[in-house]
Structure 1
Amino acid sequence: MPLTRRAFTLGALSTAAATTGMLSLPHAAHAAANTAYVMAYFTETPQFQGADYGLHLAVSRDGLNWTPLNQNNPVVTPTAGQLGLRDPFVLRKQDGTFVVLATDLKGTNFGLNSQYLHVWDSTDLTSFTGYRRIRMHTLNTHTWAPTAFWDTARGQYAIVYSANNGQDVFLVNYTSDFHTVSSPQVFFSPGFGVLDGDVVVDGGTTYLYYKNLGNGNLYGARSSTGAPNSFTTYTSGLLQGTGIEAPLLVKAIDGSGWRLWGDSYGPVNNDYYAWSSAAIGGNSWTPMNQRDYTPPMNAKHGSMIGITDAEYNSLIARWGTPNWVRLKSSNLPDRYVRHADNVARLDAYPFDPYQDQMWRMVPGLADSTGVSFQSVNYPGSYLRHYNYEVRLAANDNTSVFRADATFYRTAGLADAAWTSFRSYNFPTRYLRHANYVLRIDPLSGSSSAADRQDATFRLTP
């Protein structure tokens, strides 16, 4: 596919300002009508068994708990450059349609310095057209983690990305059409290395969140104009886990404030952490409990935006929802039910094989009003109890096996919004974890709070 020719003058783009007033109305109308969210991301797992460098999408009603689309497979994959993407960013343009930008890199060979970004257009994210790459600079450096925003004063879009011009900085190019771009210029260079910027405009203030490569923390900066080199850092450093990057800002569509997500890395390198704040302008980010949010399985370095109810429904209809579930622990929310050496246990996500945590919840083998848990990667095997311990075993189709593998779904013993599972053939016993291993034990509403939490799970894709 031929590369798009780059224009390094602003004159060719000057007509954008004349249409600013007309273009802003559809965008504002969409923002007011948003009732859900979409997330774009790529996937990786610790041993790369779940690595895929295409564009993945997930949807959410609350912006916290996410449903992957297309069985967590990519909806589109680059066909030029390095034939893979990282760090996809979705922007709703001023006319209400979308543009997708992404790093031109497949895998983790970070020494490959592409000067280009992948770009697609989309009306509603159910199809993608106009695939192209745009050249952002002529430096021998990377072009990573794009973000973009509408600069009202310029009447153009700003594309901000990580690069190195002797030190790690953010560069910016301006465009009116995401085909031709202006010459790059330094957008933010605070005197230390920075990475992974995310920019949002709220009211008359432009906010830039970034990773400080000097100390590994996330920070927020702001500007009254959004112009290059006009930002001042105003927050303290933010860190959860052993390492964090890729800050991602989302304004809650219900008016409850803001959320800041960060992508972790290090010993546990495929999970997200989140903070909340009533006001983005304050230095008051509160870490959220992982119990309250569930990112898409294997998701890495994504972006989130609001969508309308019609767009949400169209995405579900086009791409479909998973035919599998995961069981997330209530009191150990970074852990999921999995099988390992045929033992059913709770392990901290992520892990490989990542499919060990995926279950098809089918009608109960002994009673179709109940449920049984069929392994996705061992489809002839099910969770069953044996001497009260729960294990993965091949279905021998005996009445004993069918009974041992059948459970009744009930309101969560610790939280009625979550779920507990009562044994079919031992009706006073519930599925629970103890020392990270699953078993069935006698439980009731009068059991200790800790025991009831051990028996409470969230069903999530």
Structure 2
Amino acid sequence: MNKIVFRFIFLFLPTFAFAQKDVYLFSYFVDNGQDGLHFAYSKDGLSWETLSEGKSFLKPEIGKDKLMRDPCIIQSPNGTFQMVWTSGWHDQIIGYASSKDLVHWSEQQAIPVMEHEPTAKNSWAPEVFYDDKKKNYLIFWATTIPGRHGDVADSEREKGLNHRIYYTKTTDFKTFSKIEMFFNPDFSAIDATILKDGKAYYMFIKNENPNPPQKNIRIVKSKKASLFPTNQVSEPITGKYWAEGPTSIRIGEYVYVYFDKYIDHKYGAIRSKDMKTWEDISDKVSFPKGLRHGTVFKVSEAVFEGLLKR
């Protein structure tokens, strides 16, 4: 009997010994974004540490300003990591690159998302999301096109910016669908991000209106990744501070939303069990100093070990 038990344990030991654990990564930029791509990591979603002693993993090469702000990274079903980013303050393009291991990256490409709109002022905070129902990628970002939308009070203080969210679809990051309006609420909207949780899709988005000042994060629920109702935007889910750049992930029983408390020069977080009631846990999270708008995502321990060896 003992021999049988021992043999059973021996046969299955490699599975247990080499089972991979997940690690949470946070892609971000520092300063103005000229330094490129940075990573922080966490095992619990609360305490975050820098990777590679805070050194850049990828330098920006495209755009008028050659910046890499707001880096958004997701992992494709085939394992490839896809990244988009803001390449400059006044660009009509966004940056794109891919990687198998987050260390070695493809040649950087400029996706001309708003070049068909000559007066478009910007292409900010792009995000990429894989629509598992349509089997394609959604790339969406914030743009101001003067005169296209109703005036925002005190818009001049915002340098004439009045954003809405636009998007394109792709299956291969080589050909892209016609640029269309993605989300057009009755407020200036930036920093949209999407989370699939269960069968529902949730968009977290910043209300950018300056007067009366909002500068807070809202949530919108949908049954489709490519269609969010503008008449069902929630009240603010962040507190009485200015917040932007939300990014979200489920960790255990909670959905966490991290965001840049940019006036306070630090990061904050909220979490929820039911996507309705939100607990502010800004005093429970710690992030590297200087971390700016990025994306949280999960990787295998093997990918993480590769980053450590880098």
TM bin, normalised by shorter chain, reads 0.7 to 0.9
| CA distance in 2 between partners of 1:218 and 1:78 (Å) | 29
State how 1:54-93 maps to structure 2 within 5 Å.
Answer: 54-81=36-63, 82-93=65-76
Q: Secondary structure of 1:311's partner?
A: helix
| CA distance in 2 between partners of 1:250 and 1:149 (Å) | 13
Cα deviations by residue, 1:50-83 (Å, 9 ceiling, x for unpaired):
x744111111111221121222121111112121
CA contact (8 A) 2:74 2:82 kept: yes
State how 1:17-416 maps to structure 2 within 5 Å.
Answer: 35-44=22-31, 52-81=34-63, 82-105=65-88, 110=89, 112=90, 114-137=91-114, 138-139=116-117, 140-165=120-145, 166-167=148-149, 168-214=163-209, 215-230=214-229, 233=232, 235-240=234-239, 242-252=241-251, 255-266=252-263, 268=264, 270-280=265-275, 283-290=276-283, 292-318=284-310
Shift in Å at residue 34 of structure 1?
A: 5.3
Cα deviations by residue, 1:317-343 (Å, 9 ceiling, x for unpaired):
21xxxxxxxxxxxxxxxxxxxxxxxxx
| CA distance in 2 between partners of 1:150 and 1:231 (Å) | 21
CA contact (8 A) 1:189 1:229 kept: no
In structure 2, the partner of 1:12 is none
Aligned length: 269
CA contact (8 A) 1:242 1:265 kept: no
Shift in Å at residue 239 of structure 1?
A: 3.1
| CA distance in 1 between partners of 2:273 and 2:79 (Å) | 27
CA contact (8 A) 2:138 2:226 kept: no
Shift in Å at residue 241 of structure 1?
A: 5.8
Q: Provide the TM-score with structure 1 as the length reference.
A: 0.55
Cα deviations by residue, 1:56-114 (Å, 9 ceiling, x for unpaired):
11111112211212221211111121211110000111211101110012xxxx4x2x1
| CA distance in 2 between partners of 1:33 and 1:147 (Å) | 28
| CA distance in 1 between partners of 2:86 and 2:111 (Å) | 11
Q: Secondary structure of 1:170's partner?
A: strand
CA contact (8 A) 2:71 2:86 kept: yes
Q: Secondary structure of 1:130's partner?
A: coil
| CA distance in 2 between partners of 1:99 and 1:88 (Å) | 10
Q: Secondary structure of 1:315's partner?
A: helix
| CA distance in 2 between partners of 1:34 and 1:147 (Å) | 26
RMSD of aligned Cα (Å): 2.0
| CA distance in 1 between partners of 2:244 and 2:22 (Å) | 28
Cα deviations by residue, 1:363-414 (Å, 9 ceiling, x for unpaired):
xxxxxxxxxxxxxxxxxxxxxxxxxxxxxxxxxxxxxxxxxxxxxxxxxxxx
| CA distance in 1 between partners of 2:255 and 2:164 (Å) | 26
| CA distance in 2 between partners of 1:209 and 1:222 (Å) | 9
| CA distance in 2 between partners of 1:232 and 1:96 (Å) | 36
Q: Which runs of 5+ in 1 are unaligned?
A: 1-31, 319-461
Greater percentage in strand? 1
Bigger RCO (CA 8 Å, 6+ sep): 2
| CA distance in 2 between partners of 1:229 and 1:63 (Å) | 28
Cα deviations by residue, 1:271-292 (Å, 9 ceiling, x for unpaired):
1111111133xx21100152x2
Give the 3 Å change call, closer, same or farther, for CA 58–310 of structure 1 in structure 2. same
| CA distance in 2 between partners of 1:289 and 1:120 (Å) | 32
